[in-house]
């Protein structure tokens, strides 16, 4: 690893130190590493992607690390970036393994890492993950087919937005590709990824996958809410994108069944795709997503993870 890459990796995540009076409810044996989704960040302009989640886990005894990979790129590129950061975290902390939690496209990132370095991963948890891809991506790919002018324009705009997010989150220079991420998130692209990284993927439609593969435990949860709070402006965007699913239950960007991975804790919470990371700024309706992460950390703790 070059000195430049080592410096980048060391700066690519934020370590949260436990306060002196922390509780122990979420004190997992291994550190928790959070992997963001498409157009994601760790902290940008003072705004946390995992809004209030890292702090709550911290206050309940967990050691938490947030990571930053390309906001816009293929699942394989992002997964390799995550692998490098996980290894840096292990080197710095002296821990032997980590518990990976990925939101949205972070589903593929954490699964990639578990496949490449299984001996360094205790568990993988997918939150609103794109295991089966997204009809929204299929719709966009149909409107802007490869080789078309509209595709070139879309690639340019999405790539530029991704680079801007990376810049504001303190990670300029990360590679960005709108076409690569679009391909990864279509149902066909997801199926290709699943063939290469099948651990935890259900073998029946809307079923559960293997709960443990190569010593790594697999979990998932997601929601089927859309407008969960009339005060959250992003709810209306989720309601609009949900039209791509027809009558199938979904969270606005991912279908209920397509979110399943490993042991499905629950896939019908009254939460939409953005609610599951506690945005828009904690306005999420009657279900508290922060509590779900806290409870899941306790689940991992009780499992000896």
For the chain, what is the radius of gyration of the CA atoms?
A: 18
Q: Which residues contact 103 (CB under 8 A, 6 or more apart)?
A: 34, 35, 36, 37, 40, 50, 127, 128, 129, 276, 277
Query: Which candidate, 122, 146, 128, 113, places its Cα nearest to that of 273?
Result: 128
- Could you tell me which of 141, 54, 139 has the C-alpha nearest to residue 101? 54
Helix (H) or strand (E) holding 267: strand 263-269
Active-site residue set:
104, 251, 273
* Other beta carbons within 10 Å of 28: 25
Q: Please, what's the largest Cα pairwise distance for the chain?
A: 58
Tokens in use for 69?
Answer: 């990979």
Measured CA to CA, the distance from residue 128 to residue 147 in angstroms comes to 31
CA 169 to chain CA mean position, Å = 17
């Amino acid at each position: 690893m070059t000195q430049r890459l080592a410096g980048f990796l060391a700066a690519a995540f934020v370590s949260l130190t436990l306060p002196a009076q922390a509780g122990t409810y979420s004190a997992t044996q291994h550190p928790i590493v959070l992997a963001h989704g498409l157009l994601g960040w760790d902290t940008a302009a003072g705004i946390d992607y995992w809004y209030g989640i890292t702090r709550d886990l911290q206050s309940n005894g967990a050691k938490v690390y947030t990571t930053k990979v390309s906001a816009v790129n293929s699942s394989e590129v992002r997964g390799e970036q995550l692998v490098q950061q996980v290894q840096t975290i292990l080197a710095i902390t002296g821990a032997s393994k980590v518990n990976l939690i990925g939101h949205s496209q972070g589903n593929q990132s954490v699964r990639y890492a578990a496949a490449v370095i299984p001996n360094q991963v205790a568990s993988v948890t997918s939150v609103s993950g794109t295991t089966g891809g997204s009809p929204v991506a299929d719709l966009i790919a149909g409107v802007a087919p490869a080789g078309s002018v509209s595709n070139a324009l879309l690639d340019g705009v999405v790539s530029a937005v991704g680079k801007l997010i990376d810049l504001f989150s303190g990670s300029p220079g990360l590679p960005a590709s709108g076409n690569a991420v679009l391909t990864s998130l279509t149902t066909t692209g997801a199926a290709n990824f699943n063939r290469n990284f099948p651990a935890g993927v259900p073998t029946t439609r809307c079923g559960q996958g293997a709960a443990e593969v190569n010593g790594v435990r697999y979990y998932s949860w997601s929601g089927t809410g859309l407008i969960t709070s009339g005060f959250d402006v992003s709810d209306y965007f989720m309601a609009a994108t949900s039209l791509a699913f027809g009558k199938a239950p979904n969270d606005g960007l991912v279908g209920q069944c397509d979110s399943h991975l490993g042991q499905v804790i629950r896939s019908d919470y009254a939460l939409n795709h953005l609610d599951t990371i506690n945005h828009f700024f904690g306005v999420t309706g009657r279900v508290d997503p922060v509590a779900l992460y806290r409870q899941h950390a306790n689940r991992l703790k009780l499992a000896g993870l």
